[in-house]
């Protein structure tokens, strides 16, 4: 239908013209325009990424472990307190080292500014050196992340050349180890060697002083020698007490023998004129002799104050009194001879006195030995303080030397580990040249171009229809103007 001069009507929702039929009518009316816009946007989203320079990202994973660098070693003594390690405090310094200017500068110098950023040399009128410019570009391409609260560090670098990107990441890992060892290494080997030599000389001097003291006073070990002297004194004291008991026993025996000699007549009668009248005298004397022997036997077993010895002596005294009475009654001339019992007792008395003299001499020797041993013990007690002081000095020098020898061994091991670059940073996965770039994302741009072209075409159709005068369908004219449409004629150019 031809355009009628009237006020332009648009898709008015209040008038009820915005229907599916209206939409389809507009879309088919402007289909070629929609297709043209769609094709243009699609081709543009395909061609533009092809012209963009691809950017590749290489990544490497590093694991940071709690190592010897984080262990506290006391400078003096061997006391090393236990410490609780904060994993973040261990990982954060490594991240700082990775992003430090010195480490980045070393990587840039190793690879070369021209290989990393050739566009720098195309710039005109540079006020600073290309290296400084590269150092300002580098952090923007570098990423160092710590996933969560783990001890893993992910190092990434973006570059146009995938080989260069991988090389940068791997060099960062290698230089991190070197920088880490340079920071955390504690070069004390020479100092510890000097200390070990000094302590070894101190030990030799203290040992020499101790040996001279031992040689001067004739001792090897205060404790051992004193224990040996105590054992000797105990043995001699036991012998002395046993010898003293023998002396007391012999003394009692000698006293008993002397009493027997006093009580037994030196001579005995062999015949009397009244012998037949006194037959009990000889029997009484024999009984007295038996009691004397019994007394002697008891004295060898018991003390003089023993009840059994006392009873026997009372019987002896009673019989002796009886014999004296019997002899007093005998008034006849008695013929006598030397009493053999008296002679035996006298011989036994002489033997006992000789043995007693020997035991007393031995007792004197024992007492002299005890006095000498006590003198040695007293002398050792006086020397003990000085000896212990020298021994403590030797033990202290030995302990100090042992501590510093262990520290020197640990320092040598640490130095060897540093030479072999054995740090607490390990490479989990080294970087390899990436195959596909991360920028531009061609498929994403293409999908976006297709969607944008389609939406742009549709939007263009509706906008064109909105600003274009006239009516699309007869019903619009009839409803808006309030007059019936008698006929409609298709318009063709």
Please state, for a pLDDT cut of 70, what percent of the chain lies above it: 75
| Span of 260-269, 368-377, 410-419 with lowest mean pLDDT | 410-419
Report whether 139 contacts 108 (CB < 8 A).
no
**Is omega for the bond preceding 207 within 30 degrees of 0, making it cis?**
no
> Is 204 within the bounds of a domain?
no
Residues 151 and 134 sit within 8 Å (Cβ to Cβ): no
Q: Is residue 189 very low, low, confident or very high in pLDDT (cuts 50, 70, 90)?
A: low
Residues 247 and 375 in one domain: yes
Cα-flanking dihedrals φ and ψ of residue 122, to 5°? -90, -5
| pTM for this prediction | 0.42
Per the domain annotation, does 406 fall within a domain? Answer: no
Helix locations, 68-128, DSSP H: 87-98, 101-111, 113-116
Residue 438 belongs to a domain: no
Q: Which of 376, 401, 426 is the last residue of a domain?
A: 401
Asked if the model's pLDDT at residue 15 lies above 50, the reply is no
CA distance 227 to 223: 6
> Does some domain include residue 361?
yes
Given this model, what pLDDT does residue 258 score?
A: 81
Q: How many domains does the chain have?
A: 2
∠ CA 335-336-338, nearest 5°, is 165
Judge whether 465 and 11 are in contact, CB under 8 Å: yes
- pLDDT exceeds 70 at position 172: yes
pLDDT value for 5: 39
- pLDDT score for 14: 42
Long-range contacts of 72-76 (CB under 8 A, 24+ apart): 73/407, 73/410
- 49 domain residue, yes or no: no
Does the pLDDT at position 47 exceed 70?
A: yes
Partners of 336 in beta bridges: 269
Of 130, 154, 184, at which residue does a domain stop? 184
Q: Check whether residue 386 and residue 238 sit in a common domain.
A: yes
Q: Rounding to the nearest 10 degrees, give the CA dihedral for residues 415, 416, 418, 424.
A: -110
Residues 180 and 229 in one domain: no
Neighbours of 227 (CB within 10 A): 11
Angle between helices 31-51 and 442-467 (to 10 degrees): 150
Cα–Cα distance, 218 to 120 (Å, whole number): 89
pLDDT confidence of residue 12? 44
pLDDT band at 355 (very low <50, low <70, confident <90, very high): confident
**Mean of pLDDT values over 396-404:** 85
Beta bridge partners of 427: 62
Residue 63's φ and ψ, nearest 5 degrees, are -110, 130
pLDDT value at position 448?
Answer: 82
Which DSSP letter does residue 55 get?
Answer: B
With vertex at residue 262, the alpha carbon angle to CA 259 and CA 265, rounded to the nearest 5 degrees, is 135
* Mean pLDDT of the chain, nearest integer: 76
Q: How many residues are given for the chain?
A: 493
Q: Cα separation of 114 and 125, whole Å?
A: 17
Are 162 and 268 contained in the same domain? no
Question: Is residue 250 domain-shared with residue 387, that is, in the same domain?
Answer: yes
- C-alpha to C-alpha distances, 384 to 221, 223, 225, nearest whole angstrom: 10, 9, 11
Q: Which of 374, 401, 428 is the last residue of a domain?
A: 401
Q: How confident is the model at residue 208, as a pLDDT?
A: 87
> Does residue 140 sit in the same domain as residue 230?
no
Report yes or no on 206 lying in a domain: no
In the sheet that holds 56-64, the strands lie side by side as 142-145, 152-159, 56-64, 425-429
d(CA 164, CA 15): 66
CB atoms within 10 A of CB 364: 12
Residue 491 in domain: no
Classified as helix, coil or strand, 432 is coil
Range of the domain at 85: 56-184
Q: What are phi and psi of 491, to 5 degrees?
A: -100, 125
Based on the domain organization, do 261 and 391 belong to the same domain?
Answer: yes
Instruction: Assess whether 114 and 60 both reside in one domain.
Output: yes
Q: Are residues 104 and 238 in the same domain?
A: no
CA distances from 378 to 217, 230, 375, 382, 385 (A): 13, 11, 5, 6, 12
Residues 183 and 70: their CA atoms lie apart, in Å, by 12
Q: Which residues contact 8 (CB under 8 A, 6 or more apart)?
A: 468, 469, 470
**Could you say which DSSP state residue 3 is in?**
P
In angstroms, rounded to a whole number, what is the distance separating the alpha carbons of residues 402 and 192? 12
Whether the per-residue pLDDT at 131 is higher than 60: the answer is yes
Please indicate whether residue 395 or residue 294 has the higher confidence score (pLDDT): 395
Mean pLDDT of 65-78: 53
Among the listed residues 223, 207, 216, 220, the one whose alpha carbon sits nearest the alpha carbon of residue 390: 207
Shared domain check, 258 and 367: yes
Q: Do residue 368 and residue 255 come from a single domain?
A: yes
Mean per-residue pLDDT, 11-35: 66
Same domain, 104 and 230: no
The C-alpha torsion from 379 through 382 and 388 to 391, rounded to 10°, is -50
Is the residue at 70 inside a domain?
A: yes
pLDDT of residue 85: 54
């Amino acid at each position: 239908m031809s355009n009628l001069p009237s006020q332009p009507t648009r898709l008015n929702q209040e008038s009820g013209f915005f229907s599916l039929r209206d939409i389809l009518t507009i879309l088919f009316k402007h289909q070629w325009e929609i297709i043209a816009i769609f094709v243009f946007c699609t081709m543009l989203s395909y061609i533009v990424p092809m012209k963009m320079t691809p950017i590749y990202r290489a990544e490497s994973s590093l694991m940071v472990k709690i190592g010897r660098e984080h262990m506290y070693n006391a400078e003096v003594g061997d006391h090393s307190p236990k410490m609780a390690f904060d994993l973040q405090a261990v990982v954060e310094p490594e991240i700082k080292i990775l992003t430090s200017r010195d480490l980045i500068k070393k990587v840039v110098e190793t690879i070369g500014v021209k290989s990393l950023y050739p566009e720098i040399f195309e710039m005109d009128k540079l006020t600073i050196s290309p290296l400084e410019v590269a150092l300002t570009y580098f952090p923007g391409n570098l990423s160092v992340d710590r996933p969560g609260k783990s001890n893993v560090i992910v190092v990434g670098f973006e570059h146009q050349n995938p080989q260069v990107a991988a090389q940068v990441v791997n060099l960062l890992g290698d230089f991190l180890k070197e920088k880490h060892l340079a920071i955390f290494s504690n070069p004390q080997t020479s100092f510890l060697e000097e200390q070990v030599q000094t302590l070894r000389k101190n030990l030799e001097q203290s040992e020499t002083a101790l040996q001279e003291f031992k040689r001067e006073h004739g001792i090897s070990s205060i404790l051992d020698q004193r224990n040996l002297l105590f054992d000797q004194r105990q043995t001699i004291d036991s012998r002395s007490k046993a010898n003293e008991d023998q002396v007391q026993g012999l003394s009692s025996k000698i006293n008993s023998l002397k009493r027997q000699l006093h009580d037994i007549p030196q001579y005995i009668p062999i015949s009397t004129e009244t012998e037949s009248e006194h037959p009990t005298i000889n029997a009484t004397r024999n009984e007295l002799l038996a009691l004397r022997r019994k007394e002697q036997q008891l004295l060898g077993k018991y003390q003089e104050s023993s009840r059994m010895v006392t009873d026997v002596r009372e019987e002896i005294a009673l019989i002796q009194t009886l014999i004296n009475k019997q002899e007093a009654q005998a008034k006849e001339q008695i013929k006598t001879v030397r009493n053999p019992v008296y002679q035996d007792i006298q011989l036994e008395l002489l033997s006992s006195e000789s043995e007693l003299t020997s035991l007393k001499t031995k007792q004197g020797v024992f007492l002299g030995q005890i006095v000498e041993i006590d003198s040695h013990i007293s002398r050792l007690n006086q020397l003990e303080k000085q000896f212990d002081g020298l021994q403590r000095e030797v033990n202290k020098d030995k302990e100090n030397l042992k501590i510093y020898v262990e520290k020197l061994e640990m320092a040598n091991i640490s130095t060897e580990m540093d030479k072999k670059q054995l740090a607490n940073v390990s490479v989990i996965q080294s970087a390899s040249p990436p195959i596909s770039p991360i920028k531009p994302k061609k498929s994403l741009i293409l999908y976006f171009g297709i969607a944008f072209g389609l939406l742009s075409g549709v939007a263009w159709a509706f906008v064109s229809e909105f600003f274009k005068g006239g009516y699309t369908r007869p019903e619009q004219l009839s409803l808006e103007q309030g007059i019936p449409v008698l006929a409609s004629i298709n318009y063709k150019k």
